[in-house]
Homo-oligomer: A and B are copies of this chain.
């Protein structure tokens, strides 16, 4: 990925194109992240062929998934008006900051930041495609892969749209929150990366189905853990302000369960405070107290534990999954459901 970005920077310089465009992406990708999707892609390949060093083409496609994820995050941060990501300023904030530093008015700098971040996302989407197109796959492999990638992209966009539409006015509809989690996280972040790697390893339907059975509960548990971290996590560890989910009024399963269980003043408090852009620390603490008192937090922990158990059973039965891939799949299930960042 670093090499690909260096090439892009060289092209920009040669053609007198704005290099800041490339730099902001390089900075964003260098700031880290869990690299979950590339790891899952390579694990999918292992699940098909056993534990061998993956060929460069598989690594390049794995990098394309990380690049695509950067697009989703860059655009998501514009939509959520988030200021921090991975402990660093988000792309639109970084661009806004550059313009303020060079003497622009706040309004004009903000406009440039938002527009620039939309364009940076669109450009990185093309780069992600380019990584796949230049991965030295056979034309047959490439045409087998592209429909999967198209599906993955459409799924995440639908998930994000459902999420956006529900944000600001959370309800007690737990099913709706889980549908959002399925599209945004379970399918996009877990199932498709595994499938993409597995298909590159020549997987048949049995293996793809087994990976789906693994991916959907894992992805849901991953999102439920994310929701808990969004409300109760330590922002120094997660790299994003922990009040954002509450301030935005995110429609999570956690909040939906609390709204379902709460009555009288507790319910009023949730409806009144969730989604307030000016939520104070003290108000956030009161929301958290209701999330705990209604049992919603414990219920979510139980759901996560049940998913973890189910994944454990599935991996013991294993079926079509190559045994060489099992340790990583176990490890991922464990860390994704227990993580604190």
Contact = CB atoms under 8 A, between A and B. Distances in A.
B164 A112 contact: yes
A236 interface: no
A153 interface: yes
A114 B79 contact: yes
Contacts of A331: none
Q: State the main secondary structure of chain A at its contact with B.
A: helix
A341 interface: no
Nearest to A114: B79
A178 to B, nearest CB: 12
A74 to B, nearest CB: 10
Nearest to A153: B126
A18 interface: yes
A160 B78 contact: no
A115 interface: yes
B126 A157 contact: yes
Contact of A78 (B81, B118, B162, B164): B118
Contacts of A158: 12, 17-18, 21, 123
A78 B111 CA distance: 10
B79 A119 contact: yes
Contacts of A138: 139
Given A21-B158, A129-B129, A133-B143, 17 more contacts: A12-B158, A71-B122, A78-B115, A80-B115, A112-B165, A115-B164, A116-B161, A116-B164, A119-B164, A120-B161, A122-B157, A123-B161, A126-B153, A126-B154, A129-B150, A133-B147, A139-B139
